[in-house]
């Protein structure tokens, strides 16, 4: 049984200068950077990884490289595998298993707006199809519908459904899930990592850890070790960038812009996302400077 505790970085997908191809060499560098920061694992091909814009062969290769490099560094790899088509979600979950991922991240079907019964049957179909752990991904802001706590509790009875990434922003939802079942809860919002720990979560699927892997992992280590004062200090330290960065534009636009300013990515995204505006870049630059982050290296074409 896979046990999830700590920081799991929702890693970006770096593109070539023209955005036409994935820069796999840079992806491997970014994974190594995460490992050096001591995170528990990585999540390729999620929201932050712009999964909806990846061709099937690109998706396959991103997960392949993430597993190879991640496992080499001792990281757990939770591969994005969800879809609003149940048959496609099964296909991608089987692919994640074939490629050696430790779990698949399965998002609530988006656009369809299924009922709770439809959501339950969707995830159960995926869970029955392949013997690979599932991390549910509850993000109603993007999907238009939430997985309600009572549905999570029903799903948690399946041995393959081991965790949920709660990106509802709701401590009530996280608390009720914790009361109803023993599924592992991971925060889906960096600014709520510590508050969610008070509701029973054991870590975070983090965006900010793309920039600060060691600090986000340190936050998780502190509350998991019972060091509340230490966790509060790190939470307060990270809060301005956790809240500020992702309020500037939709994820991963501001994150990739920040990584470009730090020399860790080219900063480009694929349509229908558009790159950060000049005003947004100014705000991001100021935010990074206030946090004390400086450019460490240069990415070709950045």
Does residue 165 have an active-site annotation?
yes
Q: What is the mean pLDDT of residues 79-95?
A: 98
Point out the catalytic residue in the list 120, 165, 256, 283.
Answer: 165
At residue 300 the predicted structure's pLDDT band, cuts being 50, 70 and 90, is very low
Does residue 92 have an active-site annotation?
no
Q: Which CATH architecture has domain 6-227?
A: Alpha-Beta Barrel (3.20)
Angstrom distance (rounded) from CA 23 to CA 294: 23
Going by the DSSP 8-state scheme, the letter that residue 108 receives in this structure is P
Bond preceding residue 252 cis, omega within 30 of 0? yes
Q: Which of 129, 116, 76, 122 is nearest to 100 (CA)?
A: 76
Q: What is the mean pLDDT of residues 97-109?
A: 98
Task: Write down the pLDDT at residue 298.
Answer: 45
Contact indicator for 31, 69 with CB cutoff of 8 Å: yes
Angstrom distance (rounded) from CA 191 to CA 207: 10
Task: Write down the pLDDT at residue 296.
Answer: 52
Domain ranges of the chain: 6-227
What does pTM read for this prediction? 0.95
Point out the catalytic residue in the list 8, 92, 120, 137.
Answer: 137
Query: Cβ of 66: how many Cβ atoms within 10 Å?
Result: 30
> Looking at the predicted structure, is the pLDDT value of residue 98 above 90?
yes
Task: Write down the pLDDT at residue 2.
Answer: 75
> Looking at the predicted structure, is the pLDDT value of residue 113 above 90?
yes
């Amino acid at each position: 049984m896979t046990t999830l505790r700590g920081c799991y970085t929702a890693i970006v997908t770096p593109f070539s200068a023209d955005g036409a191809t994935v820069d796999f060499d840079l992806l491997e560098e970014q994974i190594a950077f995460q490992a050096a920061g001591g995170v528990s694992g990585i999540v390729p091909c999620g929201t932050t990884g712009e999964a909806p814009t990846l061709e099937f062969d690109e998706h396959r290769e991103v997960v392949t490289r993430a597993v190879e490099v991640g496992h080499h560094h001792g990281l757990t790899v939770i591969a994005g595998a969800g879809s609003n088509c149940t048959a496609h979600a099964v296909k991608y979950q089987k692919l994640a298993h074939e490629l050696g991922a430790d779990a698949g991240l399965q998002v609530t079907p988006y656009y369809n707006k299924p009922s709770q019964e439809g959501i339950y049957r969707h995830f159960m179909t995926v869970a029955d199809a392949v013997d690979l752990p599932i991390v549910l991904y509850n993000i109603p802001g993007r999907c238009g519908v939430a997985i309600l706590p009572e549905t999570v509790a029903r799903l948690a009875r399946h041995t393959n459904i081991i965790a949920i990434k709660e990106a509802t922003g709701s401590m009530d939802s996280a608390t009720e899930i914790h009361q109803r079942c023993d599924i592992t809860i991971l925060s889906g919002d960096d600014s709520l990592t510590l508050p969610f720990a008070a509701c029973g979560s054991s870590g975070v699927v983090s965006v900010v850890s793309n920039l600060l892997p060691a600090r986000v992992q340190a936050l998780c280590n502190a509350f998991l070790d019972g060091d509340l004062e230490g966790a509060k200090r790190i939470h307060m330290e990270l809060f301005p960038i956790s809240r500020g960065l992702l309020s500037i534009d939709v994820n991963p636009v501001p994150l990739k812009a920040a990584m470009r300013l730090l020399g860790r990515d080219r900063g480009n995204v694929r349509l229908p996302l558009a790159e950060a505006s000049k005003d947004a870049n100014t705000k991001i630059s100021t935010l990074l400077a206030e946090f004390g982050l400086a450019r460490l290296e240069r990415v070709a074409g950045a």
